[in-house]
């Protein structure tokens, strides 16, 4: 009753914002993302019949409060499906900084759901496991199926699950990660998204964005796919900034990266497009041919950088990789 799994974080391309059911984490609309590797979360879980309580540890620290409640929702769902009631120990580690806008909750819950399902003896497909991960983070559903994935909206698990999108862009995409430290609270932003006066406008066009993104991915049209992702980042930020709390995640370095990317594109003809989720850090999407030039330009802004490729789905790991 022990298992270890890993999953990659996600970069939102057409991002979801807001949920009509916070308990089941059912988003208002569909979303598309791409997983980023080699960044990953590694998670080990074990059901321990002799234990007296659930224990959750992330990065060496015991998780309590709202963080533990979100893990509870995933653990309890697996226990209900498997018909077991034993306490669980869960330990998790990230290979990248959490809470700066690089999708750590997505990879964390994807790895947790995959390991929990295996430890509980559940024989499930990745789309089925995605419905478990979604209870912790809607974006985690897409991290389960990996690479370019599409989370469908819906009122139930039969509909609101993730599927992988096949595209020839997987091999050529390179992502320059611009690390801009600034703690962010995505859950609060989702909670108040619908109160923005711009939310209905976003809902009105998001379905076309989803269709256009899928079409660009099918055609392996790099510029169309990532120009759309760049524009969607601005739309998401507009909705977030105009909510009741006026969340502004971007920092001066965030804007500086935006400007550097536009200069590369406009002045040098390099295919480069920025993207952000609800955080200050920036993804810069480019191709293998141009990644070195793009990383140099982004680093010149004065931020730490890394280069990522497309990551695959969540996977079980051998016993030797267990964290305890």
Lookup: tokens for 114: 């995959």
Among 66, 70, 69, 116, CA closest to 91: 116
pLDDT at 103 (0 to 100): 67
> Could you tell me the domains of the chain?
2-167 (3.30.230.10), 173-310 (3.30.70.890)
Residue 229 contacts residue 275 (beta carbons within 8 Å)? yes
Query: Would you call 4 helix, strand, or coil by DSSP?
Result: strand
Task: Say if residue 99's pLDDT is above 70.
Answer: no
Q: Are 22 and 191 in contact (CB under 8 A)?
A: yes
Q: In the block, which residue shows the tokens 């321990």?
A: 48
For residue range 268-281, list pLDDT tens digits in order.
999 999 999 888 99
Sign of CA dihedral 267, 268, 269, 275: negative
pLDDT digits (tens, 9 = 90+) for 149-168: 999 999 999 999 999 999 99
What is the tens place of the pLDDT at every residue in 8-42? Answer: 999 999 999 889 898 999 999 999 999 999 999 99
Please provide residue 274's backbone torsions phi and psi, each rounded to the nearest 5 degrees.
-90, 160
CA pseudo-torsion sign 75, 73, 16, 242: negative
From the list 116, 170, 164, 169, the residue with the least C-alpha distance to 144 is 164
Burial code (b: 16+ CB inside 10 Å, e: under 16) for 88-119 equals bbbbbbbebebebbbbbbbbbbbbbbbbbbbb
Percentage of the chain modeled with pLDDT above 70:
96
Q: Tell me the per-residue pLDDT of 212-252, one tens digit each, with 9 for 90 and over.
A: 999 999 999 999 999 999 999 999 999 988 888 888 889 99
DSSP for residue 246: -
Q: Is the pLDDT of residue 183 over 60?
A: no
User: What average pLDDT does this structure show over 137-149?
Assistant: 97
Mean of the per-residue pLDDT values of the chain: 94
């Amino acid at each position: 009753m022990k298992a270890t799994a890993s999953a990659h974080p996600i970069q939102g391309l057409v991002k979801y914002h807001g949920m009509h059911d916070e308990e089941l984490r059912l988003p208002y609309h569909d979303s598309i993302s791409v997983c980023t590797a080699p960044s990953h979360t590694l998670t080990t879980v074990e059901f321990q019949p002799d234990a007296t309580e659930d224990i959750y540890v992330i990065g060496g620290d015991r998780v309590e409060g709202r963080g533990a409640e979100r893990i509870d929702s995933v653990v309890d769902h697996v226990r209900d499906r498997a018909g077991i009631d034993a306490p669980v120990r869960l330990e998790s580690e990230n290979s990248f900084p959490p809470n700066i806008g690089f999708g750590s909750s997505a990879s964390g819950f994807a790895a947790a759901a995959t390991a929990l399902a295996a430890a509980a003896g559940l024989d499930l497909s990745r789309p089925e496991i995605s419905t478990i991960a979604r209870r912790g983070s809607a974006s985690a559903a897409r991290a389960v199926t990996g690479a370019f994935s599409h989370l469908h909206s819906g009122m139930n698990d039969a509909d609101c699950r993730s599927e992988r999108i096949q595209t020839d862009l997987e091999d050529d995409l390179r992502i320059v990660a611009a690390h801009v430290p600034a703690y962010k609270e995505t859950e609060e932003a989702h909670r108040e998204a619908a109160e923005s006066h711009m939310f209905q406008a976003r809902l009105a066009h998001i379905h076309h964005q989803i269709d256009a993104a899928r079409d660009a991915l099918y055609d392996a049209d790099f510029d169309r796919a990532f120009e759309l992702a760049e524009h969607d980042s601005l739309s998401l930020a507009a909705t977030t900034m105009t909510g009741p709390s006026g969340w502004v995640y971007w920092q001066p370095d965030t804007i500086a990266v935006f400007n550097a990317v536009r200069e590369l594109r406009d002045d040098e003809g390099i295919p480069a497009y920025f993207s952000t989720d609800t955080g200050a850090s920036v993804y810069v999407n480019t191709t293998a041919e141009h990644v070195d030039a793009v990383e140099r330009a982004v680093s010149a802004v004065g931020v730490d950088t890394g280069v990522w490729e497309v990551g695959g789905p969540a996977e079980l790991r051998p016993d030797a990789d267990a964290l305890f």
